[in-house]
Structure 1
């Protein structure tokens, strides 16, 4: 008997810091849950005092919160020199128990769980309370339901929660929490924040969809290492909420999906408004070819339409010829492109030879004085200038739509589309695109704002998050321009980092897009600058 009123009936749970009992309150004649705190052996008196104070802090933290999704604290009793916390008894299994016995859950159900968890966490955060140990074992699903018939989701065990203003109570060198569900910034020893709980929420929902945590490892240190240095595998069973999971699992808390953003998409998925086809894409262009389903990447919104004409593998710095015109596929016409290509190559060789002769004579006559290497172009050239003959190692100048061109890495696949040309590196998912579909707005900033509005409305590309939208500026060459930097999600390559420049050159609107896998250091930091800066419109 605790406090001469609480009778312990049976043990219902056990964790690293103690046991949870079902008990009966003889005074109020109701069942309650009692958390028994068990001090580890070998603790010093000061360590025991820290754990004692931490337990009292759990009670104070939870007692400040009033929400259906948070377990209610009724009382604290001291017995045998240890605190016992008396709480609301929820007749429910934990999410971890459900996953262990029944396996992973459908995405729509996970979305509903996420909405309820977010509502509880937002109440806690508004009160200055951080949970710091969100994980499936601390999420209860009360199958008696709530209004509407769905299970009530309750977050429990604020045992390592922290209130603003409390001194930090921890043992030196110890990180509190479950390794696979600790946010990267906390694993680095940085202070926890609401974004840390959101990361753990993402890991919890990921586990509910996939049946395992995003950084599941046998050893605790291996899990912490994965949290710090490895990107999670894109979820395969999350359907329309995959982009939410990956957005919450972004390692940089400043770039992590916010509670408002996550709640919006989870609520839409729970209501069936988000489908699996627009929840995540295999790659940037894995979008149906129908105009409406293709979202903002079709001609109705600045291009990004499906490939229609050709695919050419660019190898060893070779440059493809002009975009071919459609031709009948018979025995005679199938040989015609080869003949034309040979004629073009012979013509280019003759022109190059003549240029060498003229330059040699010019230098011999002293007209040019001393010569020096032509600098590598790193900024947009003027509309009437010609590209430098000195192309950086590993790059080549490749033709885009309408006679424009860019420097692109050698060996990438080139695809000609209705209003654009797309270069890809299939092994990494990296992409470059030059698009000429007219915009609805003359101002590039207004164009990007409308772009973002439609992206968010359609969830295409999945997991879109703006990083920066520049003001209007004058790009080299005198062209009005604006840059949009953002991230998005792909199924095969995870989070992608993108830069898209919109500009008007010689009366024509262009979008220059560069994207590559984020956080993997596969590309030099100047890749986007070099590609975008090499843009050359037709003379």
Structure 2
């Protein structure tokens, strides 16, 4: 789909990576539109995600109607390059790669984004950091597929059996791709790759991976990820729990730069530290292409409130008497309102601290009894997902979006068996410190950190470095007499700080209802 260039941002004085869309010069101009849309899909999918294991998208610019994605520059090498030139990795390092990839994928799945092309070529290793790249064929919740009729997106040897049979991709399909990747990283070859595409797809659909002594302790995880039936396949956090006991620190995969000649005569320097590849200026693009990206916000229409300064008209003198009477009337009303407000309400009545217009009514709640050992009441219309079943698991409920400037309110409950009998304040202080130090959280602000004995609260807000989304969240930690630790997080995503504050305030009744209903049942 494209070529990734090393570039320098002259305005911000930083090196970046820029992905250029490359179209076949002989292609019909009308064929450029689907390709452009796929590139924009990639940028928008990655920009929605805030995770150290996912490449950060800084911007999208257009030139002659064709988009260029501006991304963070990863100095390391792809896993595919390491396997091709250096051979398989030790089991412990394979586990570390899998651990970080799964965490990144789980973050994407939580936001309703499937990658659909997880493979060594789309995994970058930069020191001890593992980064998932290339969301070019990702699927975003609610968006239509962009592949042509009869096309099967992805690399054949990493495609899950259910997708080969024509079924829609799910989170389980990404888990299958991770399983194939882990096998290849440990053994040096894919378990299903054959001499042609048809044989490869047939092997993935009907053959089990061959055991290999180099897989060692990874075998139960790989077997779990490569179950033919999606419902039987190991989930992200179940695999994360297993890999956590195996993973070791990655050995930097460095070495001198290698120059690779490409088919079109360009030169690509892999793992370049300071060298730069100079090429001749590109010829003007003469292809017909779609127009540049439309602005995110539509232009103002007549009657819209804007920040433009309007002309100031001099007052009309013939209305002076009316204006004076109106001002006197307003003063009288204000005096009456202040007098009434200063009086105490009748006995048995209480004034609401907020106007009814400031808050939203609490919808009908439904009691949820969960196998993880808790119960909670959430609005009946909210959707439930159990993305991480296992020893350390969570359940998430998501409401409907009611404001164009804010996302839906979300509540997630997680049981953390790794921190039994941990001080709740210390637990949340660690979370607060981690949030504050994350380079993905711009302007991180701790609003409150409070200890209530068997509960503790951490409320915070930050702006995502990727995409500029404002995140407002409240995390409450619970414990019982046996020391079990549960973590409930309410999250609201918004387009601005003002929208976040307004949305958070409006959601107070339902937030209070949810928090007040939580009970540990084990």
Q: TM-score range by the shorter chain?
A: 0.3 to 0.5
By relative contact order (CA 8 Å, sep 6+), the higher-ranking structure is 2
After TM superposition, the score normalised by the length of structure 2 is 0.47
